[in-house]
Structure 1
Amino acid sequence: MWYWTFKYILLGPLLRLTGRPHVEGLENLPDRGPAILASNHLAVMDSFFLPLMVPRRIYFLAKSEYFTGTGLKGGFQRWFFSAVGQIPIDRTGAEAAAGALTAARRQLEAGELMGMYPEGTRSPDGRLYKGKTGLARVALDTGVPVIPVAMIGTDTFNPPGTSIPRPTRITVKIGKPLDFSRYEGMQGNRFIERAVTDEIMYELMQLSGQQYVDIYAASLKDAPASGPATRETDAPAA
C-alpha cells in the first residue's frame, strides 16, 4: 500500500514537478511476468524516478546501511526503504554477495520486476563503468529477460554528496529485452557471465550516450584510501 501511496500521492507528484520526467520505450516492458531491469546508476534518485515511470512495481537491492540507522531518523529511513520495495543486502564478503543474488532470484521466481545496477555503485563522474557479473549470474540461473534502462539527468537533479534536489529534466530510456537463452546450461562459467555482462553494458552505453570506462567504479572510490582495486565482487549493490 505504501509503495503506491508514495508513487501517486506523497512523493510522485513532487518528483514529476521538479524532475519533469518522461519515458521512452515503455512498450519494451512486459505487462506481466519476471524481468530484470538493468540500469546505469548516476544518483540515488535513479531508484525513485524509474519506479515512478514504470506502471508495474519494481524491487531493488539496497545496501543494508539504509536499514540499520538508529534514532528517529534511522527508524524513518528503515520504514521508508522497506515501504518502497527496497531489499536490504550486506555487501561485505562472498556470503553476503550470495545472499543478495538469492534475494533477487526469489523476487523473479515470484514473477516480479527486479531493478539491478550492474556497475555495483553510483558512477563517481557520470561515465559508465565496467559491470559486475552478479546480474548476469541471476539472469542465466533464472532464464528471465534482461531489459536495459538508461537514466539520464538524475546526476544533475541529485549530484553526488548533495541532499537538496536541483530541478531539471529527467529522461528514462527503456531498451529492447535481451535474450540470453543461447547460453542455457552454461551457468557458472565465468567467461559466459562476463560476455553477458559486457553485452548488457554495451546496450547501456548505446542507450545512455555515456562514455564507457573499463574499470570498476568502486575501484575509483576506494583508490584514495587503499589504492586502485580491480577485483570483482558478485553483489549488484545499490
Structure 2
Amino acid sequence: MLLRLQTVWLNLSFYFLFLAVSALLIPVLIVIGVVFVPFGPWRRTMGRTRFLIKVYGHVMMVMGVPLLRVKGERMHGKPPQPCIYICNHRSACDAFTMAMLPGEIVQVVNVWPFKLPVLGFFAKFAGYMSIREMPPEEFMRRGEKFLEQGVSIAAFPEGTRATSRQMGSFHGALFRLALRTGAPIVPVCLSGTEKSPPKGTLVLQPTTIRVRPLKPVMQETYRDMSPFKLKNLVRGLIAEELDRMELAG
C-alpha cells in the first residue's frame, strides 16, 4: 500500500513538472521560430531547434528520477555520423530517449506527435517526418537530403509500439533509404521503456531504461542485400542483444 501511494505521488510530481517545464520551454521554441528564422541561416536555425528538442528530452528524463533512471551506454564508441539509428519500440517515451544518442537528429514518427498542440508544430518545423503522411519518393528525397547535410535519422521501424517485449516486424522504408545512400546503420536497443508507462495507462512504473547503440552495420556489409534481408538482419541484432540485456537484468 505504501509503495503504491509513493508511486502515485511520484507520478503526480512528474506530470506537474512536465507541464511546468513544457510551459517554460515551448515559448523558447516559439521565439526561435518567429524571431530567428526570418533573419538567420535556415540550416543553422534547424540545428538550434533540434538541439533544443534534445535539451527538452534530457530534461524530461531527469524529471523522471527516481521513477525512471536512464542510462546511455556506448559499448562500441561514438557511432559514425551521420547515420540511420534503428530502434525497437515499446513506449510513448521512446522518442525522448533519442536525446541520449549523439549527433544532430531528426526522427521518423507516427502521425499522432504532429497533432500535439504546439509541440507537433515544432516537430514538423525541426524536420521530423511521418512516413504515413508523405509519398515514398518524397520520404527518400528528404532522407537523402538530411544525410547529405550531416543530420542523422532515428526511426522505430515497427511502426507502433509493441504490446510485449516481443518485437514486431520491421517496415522496409528506412532500409531502402540506407541502400540508396550507403549510410551506416546503427541498431539501438531500448530496454525498460515498456514500464514508462505501460501501454494503456499513463502511470509510470519504477524502472531503469537503458539505451544501447550496437556496432554499426556499414555499407560494405549490406550493399548486396535486399531491403527484406537487411531489415531482418538488423532486427535480429537488436533482438539478440535485448535478450542478453534482459537476462543480465
- Common fold, TM-score beyond 0.5? yes
Alpha-carbon distance between aligned partners in 2 of 1:139 and 1:107, rounded to the nearest angstrom: 12
Cα 1:81–1:16 change in 2 (3 A) is: farther
Q: What amino acid does structure 1 have at the position aligned with 2:218? A: D
Q: State whether residues 28 and 175 of structure 1, in contact with CA within 8 Å, keep that contact through their aligned partners in structure 2.
A: no
Quote the residue 1:56 is aligned against. 103
1:102 aligns with 2:102: no
Cα 1:161–1:25 change in 2 (3 A) is: same
Q: What amino acid does structure 2 have at the position aligned with 1:3? A: I
Alpha-carbon distance between aligned partners in 2 of 1:114 and 1:154, rounded to the nearest angstrom: 20
Question: What is the CA distance between 1:62 and its match in structure 2?
Answer: 1.9
SS in 2 for 1:37: strand
Q: State whether residues 36 and 139 of structure 1, in contact with CA within 8 Å, keep that contact through their aligned partners in structure 2.
A: yes
1:195 aligns with 2:245: no
Deviations 1:88-125 (A, max 9, x none): 42516xx6333333332221121112101222221122
The equivalent position to 2:154 in structure 1, one of 96, 101, 115, is 115
Question: What is the CA distance between 1:129 and its match in structure 2?
Answer: 1.9
Alpha-carbon distance between aligned partners in 1 of 2:94 and 2:54, rounded to the nearest angstrom: 17
Alpha-carbon distance between aligned partners in 2 of 1:33 and 1:172, rounded to the nearest angstrom: 18
- Structure 2: which 5+ runs fail to align? 1-47, 245-249
SS in 2 for 1:63: coil
TM-score for the superposition, normalised by structure 2: 0.68
Alpha-carbon distance between aligned partners in 2 of 1:47 and 1:180, rounded to the nearest angstrom: 26
SS in 2 for 1:106: helix
Of all paired residues, the percent bearing the same amino acid is 23
SS in 2 for 1:87: coil
Cα 1:137–1:6 change in 2 (3 A) is: same
1:34 aligns with 2:34: no
Question: What is the CA distance between 1:63 and its match in structure 2?
Answer: 2.6
Quote the residue 1:232 is aligned against. none
1:87 aligns with 2:128: yes
Q: How many residues align?
A: 194
1:22 aligns with 2:22: no
**Aligned counterparts, 1:77-226, within 5 A:** 77-79=119-121, 81-82=123-124, 85=126, 87-89=128-130, 91=132, 96-184=135-223, 192-209=226-243
Alpha-carbon distance between aligned partners in 2 of 1:143 and 1:127, rounded to the nearest angstrom: 29
Alpha-carbon distance between aligned partners in 1 of 2:65 and 2:145, rounded to the nearest angstrom: 31
Considering only CA atoms, is the larger Rg found in Structure 1 or Structure 2? 2
- Structure 1: which 5+ runs fail to align? 211-238
Question: What is the CA distance between 1:86 and its match in structure 2?
Answer: 6.0
Q: What amino acid does structure 2 have at the position aligned with 1:20? A: R
1:47 aligns with 2:95: yes
SS in 2 for 1:200: helix
Cα 1:82–1:17 change in 2 (3 A) is: farther
Quote the residue 2:10 is aligned against. none
Quote the residue 2:56 is aligned against. 6
Alpha-carbon distance between aligned partners in 2 of 1:15 and 1:103, rounded to the nearest angstrom: 34
Relative CO higher for 1 or 2, CA cutoff 8 Å, sep ≥ 6? Answer: 1
Alpha-carbon distance between aligned partners in 2 of 1:16 and 1:178, rounded to the nearest angstrom: 33
Quote the residue 1:225 is aligned against. none
